[in-house]
Structure 1
Amino acid sequence: MAKVLILGANGKIARLAEHIFVDTTDTDLRLYLRNAGRLKDFADSHTLVETVEGDATNVPTLIEAMKDVDMVYANLAGGNIEDEAKAVVEAMHAEKKTRLVWISTLGIYDEVPGKFGEWNNKTLGNYITTYAAAAKVIEDSDLDYTIIRPAWLTDKPEVDYEVTQKGEAFKGTEVSRRSIAQVVVDISQDPDKYKRESIGVNKPNTDGDKPAWY
């Protein structure tokens, strides 16, 4: 039975992934977040779920949380995400953990073509630079990472996606959070899937100058 540590466990994609985990797998979950009380009811109602309170830049707390886990799934955000990436890599090395799934964003390699790429760069601005720096920390490590670069996120209750690799032009403009959550769960069940890859994930046939709903 696998155990997954989820960092940033109260995030929207993370919450969806947690429900998929408990509904469809026998995976143990350790939920790491700044305020563990936010997920107390969820953890109390599922025997395979526990919570840990901590900040994602706190290396000693991360090290303790990584004990006995098989995969780390980082659903982190914020202006300090590069520091969070450094802390996660340091803690994983200390605990001799290797498998990491890291949520990033589209555009970190200037891989989004055309007018949508111009719009995306203008709209996200320094957000892209910050997330690119964090992704570089992950890629420069010796971890067995998967970096996931979602298109613009929707709350549609669907799993419908396609994948592009680093070095390929990004496709589409949007993808559901549920699709990204399913990719994370699928990787946990097949740890070789997308190993040491940075994947763009989008809903097919959503090309345009910007997301249709924006």
Structure 2
Amino acid sequence: MSNVLILGAAGHIARYAEEDLLNNTTNHLTYYLRNSGRIKITKPERESIIEGDVTDAVQLSQAMKSIDIVYANLSGHNIEELAKDVVNAMNANNVKRLIWISTLGIYDEVPGEYGKWNHQMLDGGYLETYSAAAKVIESSDLDYTIIRPAWLSNHDEVNYETTTKGEYFKGTEVSRKSIGYLVGDLIEHPDKSIRDSLGVNKPNTDGPKPAWY
């Protein structure tokens, strides 16, 4: 059993990961989020809530005590600073395993017309900041896995494939549920994909942009 700290625990992907972990593991989950009212505890013997902000260094460091794995489901214009906050808190508490949600395109790894479209949609502050945050994670000595999803859908399916850093990205879309279940798998098998960056897509969705655009 591992003690898992989930940052940004009310996010859509995080909720799928939490569902998977509660159903398929014995891990204890600690939810860290700004509004604790957004989470409903269903298994109090295995779930805890901390209401707090990742930018509060003291509180975040306190939350890391006795934690084995950190899963960060964070977003925002200050994502680079949030990455630094997480790395610092983990280092201060000797926590090594981190799963970090990022986005596709941070390495300019999306080829062809889809890559051009992705730049048009995400340049101007989004790709740049998420790329900077990934560099913070990769320059640390943590046992990280960075996850770079394709454009996200709400389809009720688990169907994905992965590429790794240095390979071209495949596909244009993937479901949030798929990403959540990938996170669950990495937490259940924490030795997988150490110091790796995974592109994640639904197979056979190649094209110039996601189907709904």
Structure 1 length normalisation: TM-score? 0.97
**Could you tell me how far apart the structure 2 residues matched to 1:44 and 1:170 are?**
37
1:62 is displaced (CA, Å) by 1.0
Q: Note if 1:124 corresponds to 2:122.
A: yes
In structure 2, the gaps of 5 or more residues are none
Greater shift after overlay, 132-141 or 56-65?
Answer: 56-65
**1:5-24 correspondence runs (5 A):** 5-24=5-24
The one-letter amino acid of 2:85's match is A
- 1:66 counterpart residue number: 64
Shift of the alpha carbon at 1:25? 1.4
Q: CA deviation at 1:47?
A: 2.4
Distance 2:43 2:96 in 1: 30
Aligned-partner Cα distance in 2 for 1:176–1:117: 19
Aligned to 2:3: 3
3-state DSSP of counterpart to 2:145: strand
Q: For 1:137 and 1:105, locate their aligned partners in 2 and report how far apart those are by CA, in whole Å.
A: 15
Q: Percent identity?
A: 60
Please tell me the residue identity of whatever aligns with 1:81: I
C-alpha distance in structure 2 between counterparts of 1:159 and 1:24, whole Å? 15
Equivalent residues, number = 212
> What residue identity is the alignment partner of 2:6?
I
- CA drift of 1:44 comes to 5.3
Aligned-partner Cα distance in 1 for 2:100–2:34: 18
CA deviation string 1:55-88 (max 9, x = no partner) = 1122111111111111000000000110100000
Q: Which runs of 4+ in 1 moved over 3 A?
A: none
Quick one: which amino acid aligns to residue 147 of structure 1?
I
Q: State the TM-score, normalizing by the size of structure 2.
A: 0.97
Q: Counterpart of 1:36 in structure 2: which amino acid? A: S
Deviations 1:150-173 (A, max 9, x none): 000011111111110101000000
Corresponding residue SS for 1:55? coil
| 2:196 match | 197
Query: Could you tell me how far 1:45 is from its partner in structure 2?
Result: 4.7
| Root mean square deviation, CA, Å | 0.9
Select the residue among 48, 51, 72 that pairs with 1:50.
48
| C-alpha distance in 2 between matches for 1:79 and 1:160 | 30
